[in-house]
Structure formats: C-alpha cells, structure tokens
Structure 1
C-alpha cells in the first residue's frame, strides 16, 4: 500500500470532526511535513476535495465522500437475489430467468453477483457459477447468520421502530399514548415486558389507522375492561373511538400474555386465514432460515392477519402510512414482508397494499429484535405452586425485577435439558438438569431476590466459561503455539506471522504489510513483556490466534518481549472476538500473567491457562 493510501485510511479512522496535524501525520508515516502536503495534493488531484485542509491539519471529507460498504448497501434487488439463491438450493438460479424476473439486464445481475460475492466472504459463503447458473454454497448456520444480519440492517441514519410508529400516529404523540397504556396496565396490575408492550402499542396504532363500519361477532375476554379503560382515555384526549372489533383484538392479545387458558384466538381467526398463515410461515422459514414457531408471535400475527383480511374484504385499507420510508430504510426486512404477503395474498385470493406490508414488516422486525435479545437472556424455568394463577403472579413479579436478564420458559417449551440454564423453584426437590438451581419461598421476600441475583451471576459466569471453552480452541489450533528461534527483530516476527497466517489460509499475502501499517500508528508491545500484533481492520479470511514464545527475549520498541499473541480476525467473528479481547488486554498488562501463560508447553495448556485467568474472580462479559 502506498503512503498516500495509508494516510487516507488513517484519516478515515479518525472522528468525523477531528483534524490531524501535518506533524502528527508525518510522525505516523515516518516522512516529512512536506511529503504529507504532497500526498494530500495527490489524493485531491485524484478526487477533488477528498481531504479537507485547515490550520489544524487534515481530515477526510465525510460529507461528500462517505460510501457505505457492500454489506451496508444491499438493496431490495440484491436481497431478492439472495432469496432466490437460498430458495433454489442445489438447483441454482438461471442468469436469464433472474434478469427477467427482476426486470434488469444480465449485466446488472452479473454486477450484483460480483458485489454479493464480496459480501459472502465475510460469512464463509461462496456464490459459484457454472455456465449461466449461480449457486450459493456454505453451511446453514452461515446462511442464517447472513440473512439475519441483513434483515436487521438499516440504510443510513434510519429512525428506531419508535420513530416509525410516531410517523404512523401523525399528530398524536407516541409518548402520550404509551403513558396512557402504561397507567391503565398498572391500574389493572398487568405487568408486561418491553416486547409485549411494544407490540401492544403497534396493534393500537394499527386500529387507530382504520375505520370499521361493520361489527363482527362478540367474544368474552377477561382483559376487555382494561382495554375499555384505554379506549376511554384515548377518546378523552383525542376524540378517537375504537370499534368493538378492535377492542376485542387488543383484549385477546392481553389474554395471551396473561396466560389465560380461555384465549379465543382459534375462535376469532377463521380456519382459512390460520391455515394460510401457517403455510406461508413454513415456506418463509425454509427460504430465510428463520424460526417462526414462537407461540406468542404466532398468536399476534394470526390476529393481525385476520384483521388485515377483514380490512381488505371490507375495503377499509387506509393509505396514509409511511410504507415508502420503511421500504427504503429496511429493504431486506421489507422484502421478507413482501414475500410473506405474496404467499398469503395468493392463498386467500386478495390484494395486499404496501401500507399493510409495512405493518407486517414492523411486526416481523419487532419479533426478530426480541428474538436477538432473548438469545442473550438466561432461559429460566419457574417451578412452583400447583395453582397456575399463583405461579403466574410469581412470574410477573420476577419479570418486573429481572425481565432484562431472564427469559421464562414453560415445561412444554423445553426441547431438551440443555435448553434450561436457570431454575427457580419453591419446591425442594431434585432436578435432572445441568442448570443453576435457586430455591425460594412461595411468598417472596427480599432474601429470595438476593438468592436469585446471586444465581443469575453464577449462571452468567457458567455461560461465559462455556463460551470460552468452545471459542478459544477454534481460535488457537494445535500447531499455533510455537517456540520462536533465530528471530531478532520485530520486522522478522511480522514476516513470520504473515507467512504463517497466509499458508494456513487465515489471510491474504498482504497481511504482513498491514501489520506494519498498524504498528506505525502505535506500538502493540506492552511493558509486561507481551506484544499483540494485529491489523487496523478485521479483514482475515478466517479467525485465528498465533502464539509465539521467543527463546531469547526480543527487544521490540524498547520493550523486552517474552510472549507474542498475533491475531487474524474475520469480520463475521467480530462479535465473539469483542467478547474476549478487552479481557485479554486486561489480563496481559500484568507481567505475572504473561509469565504464567508463557510456561505453557502446548496449545491445549495455553488455552486452559488463558481460560483460568479470564474467568478469575467470577468474571463474565
């Protein structure tokens, strides 16, 4: 990489408003101030105004030249191509059929395939071509990770889901609407988690954006008085009336959250709508590799789909929603909703407007966001009284205290004993689970909450230990712990590291050069006797560590280095890597920890010692 390119990369990595002085840049690149001015001139000759100048120095011109990376700019068409690749599997997709289906030229499809191929590398996937057919190859796990990442992407500075909700409400403040609902919920002792509350507000917004003329059949619901109270408050504030049909839809949602056995979703939703949605979700799951079997999500979507069907049949669709904004900001998510809508529309022989598709996109997006949050929560089994109502009361109380950390599952939802991490029980008995168990009183006291808090901490520690035991052996291979002989300089070390990573398939042949580029910015050596050489960006083909132990102390920027831990990081592993890197730094600034690790004779022993240090003192991420 040329010096001017190194300069440009360095400026891109600074804060947007920050200028860097010419003298600082000269020190970083090891050149004169005059050379810096020359490089800037060259860059601006290539692209006018690419680098801004001032008395304070230089900075990258973000206002005009910030271009999103490929994985941040996958538009609806490219996501559709991915969908076809996933759907066709081993049969592949035909270039000419794809161009005809998407109404673009063959050359456009080839360009899209090239851009997508670059993206695939970050997920250990590959698009292969044979004559005029394309095939997506790789593991199911990698494909699912790719799809979920793209679905959750937003284009540009898109507002949150709450921002989209506010656009639908117009002049009605979302904050006032949520306050009304929260006050009524509290009055009726109806305590819910944030996901349900968000979905309730979403359904309420939907019914406020529609007008009903015809009343459908009436159902009984224990939550109806609470919904009547909310309807009264909305009328008092904004003179908007909720139709009885809408009130029952909202009441059924709340019944499901309360755990009432008399929930009448199956009675409310017609058989043809229910069957159509289940068929559509089954196909959607097979194409996008997303699990839509969550019962509460299914109930909510069934209610929504039934009301969508009613609106279409009664021609009560209201066309003033920001479907275009959602389509532009969440192209992949919108494409999923379009696909679901097309399946339902074909099955039920109806037409679904873009406004309705936008609502479906918000439903799916909210569910996927909660699915991601739930994956991070501790799956908890509550065992208590034989009285369902009492057990529900205990769960509501615990969710109000620990809802951000615990996800309560029922015995019916447990697929295997490994899926339960934490058990809270008011019955003293043996549990055949490899889970943390805390015993509490049926009528909770403060000391019970203390026991639960300690149990949560122990469970998080156990979870982090399990993660380390799985992740670190993948990072540090058997042959990746090497005694380094006949190497006397940092330059020789970098050459050795770059060659080793390249030969093992972790990086390309430019890796050594990138190590030098990073090192010029600041030394990766520590006074504790360890060095952690790595590149500026995560750009490895695979993720891996290389452990080097100099036989003789190696002098590196005036530090005597006894242990070297080199890293190649694939962007797809950045989340997992970021779970360990700060802790590794925290450990290795202490010299006795460096010495402890250096005494390892094999990679297995190194991993064992590293894990021991990382979980010391009950640490977890």
Structure 2
C-alpha cells in the first residue's frame, strides 16, 4: 500500500484528518463541498483541498479516487473493491492493532464479525471464524443474530452458500455506508478498565480482573448474549455486593421466591459465577444474590420466556427500584405521551439498569457512554424522555445525572418506542359502495394489491346500511358515493375504478403521515446568515425575538439553559436544536437561525440553529415532529444548502426540493 504522501508529512493529526475526510465521503451518497468538510473538521477550505489532493494520491494506488465535480463538490469513486477493502483492513490494523486482539465480550465479537464480513473479499466459513475467535459454534450463531440485525439496519444481508460459507450482500452505497460506520468508529467499547480505578476502593484490582474474567468465561461458555452495559452492570453489582456484605449489610430479601428464575439455565450460570467469586474474595453471598445475578443474565429475555405479568415484575424487582422505575415511566408519559408506560420489557430492562446505576451514583462513579452522539442524533425523542427520567432520579435521590447515563436510559426507551411502532399493526377500513357487491369487491382487491399488509379491509357495505355499523374497529371509511351523515371516523371519497389520485388519498391514511415541516415554519421567525460568534448571543437574540411577539414566557431563556446544562443540544452535522425541558408555548413552531461562520457549541461545530418550541399540554404526536426534524438535520446536503440561503424564498425552495 503506497501511502507515501500520507506518511511523508510525518503528522498524526493530518493522518486522522485524512481518514475523517475519507469517512465523510464514504458515508455520503452525494458529493460534499470543501466548505462542508472544512466545517466538520475545523480547518479552512484551502486546507481541505490540500488534504483531498494527498488523500486522492494515496487512494489511487489502492483501488479508489476522489472525483471533483465543479460547483458541486467531491465524491469517492471505488474502482477496485478488493484493493480498497485491503487498504481499509490495513488502516484498522495500523490504527487499532485489532488483528492481535481476540474480542472478549458479545458486543466486541459482534463488532469484530461485522468488520470481518464487510472487509472480506470472498465467503467466510463459520468453522474458520470459530477457530480465529476461539469461540464455540453456538456462541457464533448467537453473535450472528446480532450481526444480521445490524446489517438489517443498513439494508444489507448475509448470503449463505453451501460449502462456501457467508458473504455480505447489498447495494454498493449501503455497503460503503456500513463500512464508514464500522471501520472508522473510534469510540471504544465500554471496557472494564473504565471501572477499574473507581472500583478499587471496593476490592483489589487483581480480584476485580479475576471477577471480570469469571463473568466473561461463564457467559461465553453458556452462550448467553449480553450487551457491554449489561456485563458492566453485573460486574459493578458483584463488586458493590461484596463491599456491602463485608461491611455487614444485609441484602434485602424478595417478597417471594421466583420459581421462574430458579428454573432458568441462567440461574445455574449465576450460581457458578457466585461460587467462583466467593473463592476469589473469601466471602459468602446470600442466596438472594444468586437470583439477582440470574436476573441480570436473563434481562428482558425473562419476559418472553416466563410470561411474566407486570405484577410478577413488581415481585421480582425490589420495592424501591420498582417504584422508581414506574415513577420515571409515569412522568415520561405525562410529559411526552409516548404510549410505552406498560411495556413489560421496558419495566424490567430499566429496573435492572437502575439498581447498579443507583449504586454508581452513591459511590460517585461516572459512567462513559461511547454511543452518546449516535443516541442523540438517531433517537432524539428517546433522549428527551431520558432527560425526563433523569429529572425524576435527581429529585428522588438528590444526585446529578449526566448525559452519559441519560443516553443509556434513552436506549431502553428507544427500544420500547420501536416495539410500539411494530405493534400498531395495519390500518383498518370499511368500504361503502352504491353499485352492488361486485364493485365493492373490485375496490377491495385493488386496495389489497396496492397496500398489502398495511391495510386491513374489515368489510364492505351498501350506503343504506351505514346506520347499522359500529365503527369501533375501523380507522376510516372508503366510499364511492358521497356520504352526508357525520361518521365517527374520516371518510375518503374515491371513484369505483381507483385512479392514482384516489390511491394517494388513501395512502395518506394508510401510511402514517408526518405533518409537513412547513406547518411549523413562519416567515418572520427565520433569521439567515447572522454574524453571531457564540451560543449565548444566538439564544439571547432568538428568545428576544419571540418575547417581542409575546410567544414565550419571561423565563424562557433560563429554561433553555436548564436543558443545555443537562446535555448540549448540538447533534452533529453543524446543527443544534435548543429547547426547554418541558413544553411552554401556545402552539408548536420552529425558530431558525443560520450563521455566516460555524461556532463552537459544547465541543461541536454549529452553523444551523433550530429553536424548537412545543405546545404545552398538547396530545400531539411529538414523535413525528422529532422524526421530521431528524430527517432534516441528518441530510448533510440539505443542511449545506440551507446554510447558504440568503432569503426566505430560497430557504423554502431548498426544503421543498
């Protein structure tokens, strides 16, 4: 690999800068301008142009080049896939020395496998991978389930070919995007050494290392799949339990013994972990600890395998933890109306997370969350819900919850929100026809062929029989005749022979429509190409503008700062979305400000500020609002265009395009 140009400068910072540019180019489907790259990397456009020349020279001998399109920007072109992949493989090995490290946790193994498949030139056999990673066939099959889930998110899949093995397949753009995420991901996994210094006040370092090894070995051997945070929670729990037993504290007992837990394989694994830990530390753990460790190992799997009810969960978790969990969920429901209050997986997942988390706060341990930026960018509403839960925890326990912890809570909430989406099922409609059963059937089959599983036609009826129908199980009515009566559900009028226009009317009901972003944008609340130098200048200016128009309460600025102090609202991609923790205005609207030059906003560069003002006591589905904003700010090309706009007309046109 000829990296003369890159290495010749002898400058590590330059190296990492070139790799950052390469990552951005790989992750983008469209060309990127030097101004955009300069803002992201915090150098001048001229420096970016020089860097691109160096990078291009290095890439040309490694199967790729950077294509410069006048007036549009730079685009990565890969000419020899095999050469380029081996260039990336070398980069990983040089940067991280990863070829020397055998991954020792489920999460690390999944990451290793993802990279291995993405960078492989041909098919990979499971047996070879097992040997390479020193794991069993059953373990790798568990890991592969997670790998497939990750690949699903990128729209790519693993193709299986008898006698050859597995190979990753998908469109070039999607494969390249996955590579960008997984090759250049500099965030370390949540590793045990984060805790080592903080836990040494509880137990000797050698003992802690030995306990960690016991946990890893046991879950490996028994094919139990746990996330890194779950392993850390279990690790901390054991260390703290040891300290408390040593100090003579009695562990609180369950209200009743849960036979469901004792019957699980995980209970036996917990027993083995405790047995080995007792030998290492020279203490005896009470039996209730074994059940609690089994709970950690089971996690949300317990819900699906033992059919636990909410009442059973209450019995399994200790009183204070259960009450705290339900208080958090009640407050989230009250503030954000997410409809996840009774999600049993969420109750057990959050409950199990909170017990060691509470001990962390008590012992002053600060957790680091390597996924925090991704969580904020991809699950903004879940992150807001995490902040609401954090307020309950702070109030109940008189501690400060930082954004790393909020990020972990948000992951539990985000998963529950995704589950709710899946559970909502198809829309249900009733067809009303005047011209007999034949035309009603024609309508029905035309709709089924267009919408498939998304639409459930619950029945057909003639107009004169409308009064006999109850609409409890119906979301809307499709009718080929005008209906004058008031019905408790919306009516869509169509022609019997469905045209494109009719189909798009129905589609707006079948496919969840998000409100248009334009509903929330007012001409007099867009401020373009401003010359502010600091975050404070922007916020003071925007709030003053809103106060002049009597749109916000007097303490609005301090409420925005309160939210910023919990976790900054700069989400990457040059965008910040400041807002108060709780809704304050009479209706929902956006206030937008773009800047001539990007500014520093809590260690992120920002050039596009969207002040989000949410209607108080609204039952409106805020998830749509956040998704809409998310799609807008996630789009690098769009953000670049919006930043360059100098008039309202230009701004709206850029959004429409």
TM-score for the superposition, normalised by structure 2? 0.30
Q: TM-score, normalised by structure 1?
A: 0.31
